[in-house]
Amino acid sequence: MSDVAEGFFEVTHNGFALLGLAIVFAVLALAARPDLRQSGEDQLMGWLQSRKPVPEVEVTDLEPTAIDRTTAASPQELPKPQAAVAYWLSKKYRVAVEPLSVLVSEAFDLGKRNKLDPTLILAIMAVESSFNPFAQSQVGAQGLMQVMTRVHGEKYESAGGTLTAFDPVTNMRVGVKVLQECIARAGSLEGGLKFYVGAANLPDDGGYAGKVMAEHVRLQQVIAGRAPSTSPTPPGMRVQPMPVVAPAKPEANSPQNVALASDL
């Protein structure tokens, strides 16, 4: 046993001595040959990377440019009156405030360019579609402002065709054009709303103008910082005529009954 132990110690001692010498020679070689050191480091790093577990990558078909097609914006970027309108409409109609922020901003821009009260435009959208851009009526009125696409298809041509009726901003712009034509033809706001809803030659419009104007008044109260009235029609409120420059005259032999401004 003593001889075996002595032999094992001798072998081990000599082995460590040889290992130490090998390490010394390796260090000297690497110091003299930086290229060998770099090659060795690269090989070692490659081996370590190959042993590293590969993380699971979530497969997705989302596009990084999708934000360009999104109709949404932060309400904090709006002027205070517009932001107040967006938040109020969001709460009342249970619609996200971010897309409403875009619609409110567009309504104010359209109102300024077309000399219309922006709250009137928003009120029509509220009554017509409750801010559902994909709404469609039984007679084919489509989008936020429920424009008769098959009748006013030419108004969508510059935007790319009638399918853009479901683009919220495009539908708003076309709807405002139709509203302007209705008001010009009727010579007043009340008459224009009757034309817009297709009740020009009916005894009444089923309360449509009253609903629009009631919402219009409530939105004006929101802008003014007052609590909106909860009554369907504010007491004493009447639809006031809107002065129109050179109202458009109906063409000869044209049908008098208008279904959602279908003969404009």
Can you give the CATH number for the domain in which 126 is found? 1.10.530.10
Asked if residue 165 has pLDDT above 80, the reply is yes
The number of residues making up the chain comes to 264
If asked whether residues 115 and 24 sit together in one domain, one would say: no
pLDDT of residue 255: 35
If asked whether residues 205 and 103 sit together in one domain, one would say: yes
Number of domains in the chain: 2
If asked whether residues 183 and 87 sit together in one domain, one would say: yes
Q: Is 201 domain-assigned?
A: yes
Q: Is 124 domain-assigned?
A: yes
174-188 b/e (C-beta count within 10 Å ≥ 16 → b): bbbbbbbbbbbbbeb
Contacts of 140 (CB under 8 A, 6+ apart): 148, 149, 150
If asked whether residues 20 and 133 sit together in one domain, one would say: no
pLDDT of residue 54: 65
If asked whether residues 108 and 194 sit together in one domain, one would say: yes
Asked if residue 221 has pLDDT above 90, the reply is yes
If asked whether residues 42 and 159 sit together in one domain, one would say: no
| Both tokens assigned to 156 | 């969508």
pLDDT of residue 250: 39
If asked whether residues 42 and 97 sit together in one domain, one would say: no
Q: What is the pLDDT averaged over residues 192-207?
A: 91
pLDDT of residue 106: 97
If asked whether residues 177 and 111 sit together in one domain, one would say: yes
Q: Are β-strands 147-148 and 141-142 bridged in parallel, bridged antiparallel, or unpaired? A: antiparallel
If asked whether residues 103 and 206 sit together in one domain, one would say: yes
If asked whether residues 86 and 138 sit together in one domain, one would say: yes
The confidence band for 50, taking pLDDT boundaries of 50, 70 and 90, is confident
Contacts of 128 (CB under 8 A, 6+ apart): 135, 141, 144, 145, 146
Residue-wise DSSP of 88-144? HHHHHHT--HHHHHHHHHHHHHHHHHHT--HHHHHHHHHHHHTT-TT-B-TT-EETT
Asked if residue 240 has pLDDT above 50, the reply is no
53 versus 207: which is more confidently predicted? 207
Contacts of 162 (CB under 8 A, 6+ apart): 149, 150, 153, 156
Asked if residue 198 has pLDDT above 70, the reply is yes
> Domain residues for 33?
2-51
Burial of 152 (0-12, 13-18, 19+ CB in 10 A): buried
pLDDT of residue 14: 73
31-45, 109-123, 152-166, 246-260: segment of lowest average pLDDT: 246-260
If asked whether residues 101 and 211 sit together in one domain, one would say: yes
Q: Is 235 domain-assigned?
A: no
Note the pLDDT tens digit of each residue in 103-150: 999 999 999 999 999 999 999 999 999 999 999 999 999 999 999 999
The confidence band for 158, taking pLDDT boundaries of 50, 70 and 90, is very high
Residue 43, amino acid: Q
pLDDT of residue 261: 46
If asked whether residues 102 and 10 sit together in one domain, one would say: no
Q: Is 259 domain-assigned?
A: no
Asked if residue 233 has pLDDT above 80, the reply is no
The confidence band for 178, taking pLDDT boundaries of 50, 70 and 90, is very high
Q: Is 241 domain-assigned?
A: no
User: How many angstroms separate the CA atoms of 219 and 91, rounded?
Assistant: 13
User: How many angstroms separate the CA atoms of 181 and 224, rounded?
Assistant: 29
The confidence band for 59, taking pLDDT boundaries of 50, 70 and 90, is low
pLDDT of residue 47: 75
pLDDT of residue 10: 75
Q: What is the pLDDT averaged over residues 233-262?
A: 41
Q: What is the pLDDT averaged over residues 8-25?
A: 73
Q: Look-up: residue for tokens 């129109």?
A: 244
Asked if residue 169 has pLDDT above 90, the reply is yes
Average predicted confidence (pLDDT) for the chain: 83
Q: What is the pTM of this model?
A: 0.69
> Which DSSP category does 258 fall into?
-
pLDDT of residue 57: 58
Residue-wise DSSP of 23-74? HHHHHHHHHH-HHHHHHHHHHHHHHHHHHSPPPPPPP----TTGGGG-----
Task: Return the percentage of the chain with pLDDT > 90, whole number.
Answer: 57
